[in-house]
């Protein structure tokens, strides 16, 4: 039976009052309030750096609050560590994939609460339970015995969700869960969330996709600069423009920079001919000229990311050629690609792009060590100076270059990656999901930065799961379906519906 107060309103399952979290030299949370009821989807909004990640880590037991209190069923609790959070029924699915690649799906799902009797693991029972959970999630194709490292990003996300369900959680926190999913997977995720809330589970949902909030959310709390600026707004009663203004302190629209057009005499910088990678993709050809942005549109798993990785040399092509400035590159050699002026910002920026425990300046100068070294030794003063110039130009926050990259918000981590290639002076920039997990304000800044790079003569390829982003940012679009290019043409001459028809049908409309 759900508890209600005398006015007939449900009592909160979770309440956070006046939460303060201080780190050396910084106050990340400054009196945050949050109230979540049973059976609701409570959306947490805010720009990168607003304090969302710190708040959920406090709730998950990863951080201890400096001040304030947390109540479950109106009873104060102390969440000393993540195990204590799980015992209280609080499960967290982080934005960055939190799985152990060397273990099986079942082992990941029961990691930390293994099924065992007398010290002997009950693996068969764990596999059976895992099968039931995966069936409930609509993913019968994932075997409990499969090694998690062999799954794509979307599959790993499902494993994280299955782990939360295995705990019989009362509160499930989801941090950007749809970021790595295609449209069909997102629909499945929404179905699962509704099933959870129908069973009385409270879901705290973080997403930068405001349309998704509208589809799924019941109430919204907005954070800005570590404070609660709006609490428990009813989604249906709150206009999108009001939410944006609360998050940013100003009115912000999804605005793409002007496309000046590519000069007729612009030279080809990147030429890809009949590129293939086994059964993943084949016969991909494209040319990108100086000052041009080409977008790759397609569903997750269509081969988009693998095309970028193969151009960059992180994967060895099985057929075709890549040329930069007319010079053919050796396949599968990243050093050769970087020397030719190719830079890659990967989809998984934390695991593949950044050295999280190294300072910001080291992450920015990583590709230019040979220029900064003096007598074979790195000149840290020169590193800091080069990084500081880019930090100021990109308005990377906080501005200090000596703090570890791990402490930056998602949007500012993305800026640090882009700064790396600005310092390097790359001729070709490959961007895989450049605004994944980036808030509405930082998104516009990144769009302008990408256009600035193109205007300075770079050839840019952008991969994004958000089709409007590809069409709004790119000069030309290549539609990828099942590893094949099924359409190429000016971005202005195709709309979102046509792109969806192409990727679903796998042939030119």
Rounded CA gap, 70 and 304, in Å? 44
- Range with top average pLDDT, 160-164, 192-196, 210-214, 314-318: 314-318
Question: Per-domain residue ranges for the chain?
Answer: 14-89+169-248, 349-425
Residue of higher predicted confidence among 345 and 320 = 320
Residue with tokens 């099986």: 104
The whole-number pLDDT of residue 408 equals: 82
At residue 508, does pLDDT exceed 60? no
* Average of per-residue pLDDT across 138-142: 87
**CA–CA distance from 87 to each of 19, 62, 77, 407 (Å)?**
21, 14, 11, 28
Per-residue pLDDT tens over the stretch 7-41: 455 789 999 999 999 987 778 899 999 999 999 99
Q: Are 213 and 43 in contact (CB under 8 A)?
A: yes
> To the nearest whole number, what is the mean pLDDT of the chain?
86
pTM higher than 0.85: no
Q: Are 202 and 219 in contact (CB under 8 A)?
A: no
**DSSP of 112-180:** TS--EETTEE-HHHHHHHHHHHHHHTT-TTS-TTSBGGGS-HHHHHHHHHHHHHHTT-SEEEEESTTTT
Q: Which two tokens stand for residue 279?
A: 């059964």
Lowest mean pLDDT among 72-76, 348-352, 468-472, 493-497: 348-352
Residue with tokens 């770079």: 458
Q: Are 388 and 348 in contact (CB under 8 A)?
A: no
The percent of residues in the chain predicted with pLDDT above 90, rounded, is 44
pLDDT band at 375 (very low <50, low <70, confident <90, very high): low
The CATH T-level fold of domain 14-89+169-248 is Rossmann fold (3.40.50)
Decide: residue 103, CB within 10 A, 0-12 exposed, 13-18 middle, 19+ buried.
middle
- Residues 6 or more apart whose CB falls under 8 angstroms from that of 506 comprise 481, 482, 484, 486
- Range with top average pLDDT, 54-58, 134-138, 301-305: 54-58
The whole-number pLDDT of residue 362 equals: 87
């Amino acid at each position: 039976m759900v508890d209600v107060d005398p006015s007939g309103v449900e009592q909160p399952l979770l309440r956070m009052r006046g939460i303060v979290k201080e780190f050396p030299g910084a106050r990340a949370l400054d009196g945050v309030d949050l109230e979540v009821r049973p059976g609701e989807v409570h959306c947490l909004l805010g720009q990168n750096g607003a304090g969302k990640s710190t708040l959920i880590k406090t709730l998950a037991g990863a951080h201890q609050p400096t001040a304030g209190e947390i109540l479950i069923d109106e009873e104060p609790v102390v969440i000393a560590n993540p195990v204590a959070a799980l015992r209280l029924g609080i499960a967290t699915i982080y934005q960055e994939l939190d799985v152990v690649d060397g273990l099986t799906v079942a082992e990941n799902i029961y990691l930390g609460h293994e099924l065992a009797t007398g010290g002997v693991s009950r693996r068969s029972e764990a596999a059976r339970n895992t099968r039931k959970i995966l069936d409930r999630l609509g993913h019968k194709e994932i075997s409990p015995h499969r090694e998690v490292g062999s799954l794509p990003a979307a599959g790993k996300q499902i494993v994280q969700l299955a782990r939360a369900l295995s705990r019989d959680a009362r509160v499930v926190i989801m941090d950007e869960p749809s970021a790595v999913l295609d449209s069909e997977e997102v629909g499945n995720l929404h179905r699962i969330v509704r099933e959870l809330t129908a069973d009385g589970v409270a879901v705290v949902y973080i997403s930068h996709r405001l349309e998704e909030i509208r589809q799924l959310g019941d109430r919204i709390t907005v954070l800005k600069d570590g404070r609660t600026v709006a609490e428990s707004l009813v989604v249906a009663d709150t206009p999108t423009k009001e939410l944006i203004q609360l998050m940013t302190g100003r009115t912000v629209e999804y605005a793409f920079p002007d496309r000046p057009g590519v000069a007729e005499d612009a030279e080809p910088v990147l030429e890809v001919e009949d590129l293939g990678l086994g059964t993943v993709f084949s016969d991909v050809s494209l040319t990108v000229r100086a000052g041009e942005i080409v977008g790759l549109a397609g569903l997750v798993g269509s081969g988009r990311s693998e095309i970028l990785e193969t151009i960059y040399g992180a994967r060895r092509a099985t057929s075709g050629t890549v040329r930069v400035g007319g010079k053919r590159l050796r396949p599968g050699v990243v050093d050769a690609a970087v020397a030719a002026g190719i830079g890659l910002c990967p989809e998984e920026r934390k695991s593949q792009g950044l050295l999280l425990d190294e300072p910001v300046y080291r992450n920015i100068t990583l590709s230019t060590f040979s220029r900064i070294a003096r007598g074979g030794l790195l000149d840290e003063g020169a590193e800091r100076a080069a990084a500081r110039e880019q930090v100021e130009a990109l308005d990377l926050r906080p501005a200090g270059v000596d703090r570890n990259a791990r402490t930056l918000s998602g949007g500012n981590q993305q800026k640090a990656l882009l700064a790396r290639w600005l310092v390097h002076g790359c001729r070709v920039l490959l961007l895989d999901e450049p605004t994944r997990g980036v808030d509405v304000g930082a998104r516009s800044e990144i769009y302008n930065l990408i256009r600035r790079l193109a205007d300075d003569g770079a050839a840019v390829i952008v991969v994004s799961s958000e089709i409007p982003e590809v069409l709004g940012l790119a000069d030309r679009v290549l539609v990828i379906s099942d590893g094949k290019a099924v359409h190429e043409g000016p971005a202005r001459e195709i709309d979102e519906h046509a792109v969806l028809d192409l990727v679903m049908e796998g042939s030119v409309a």
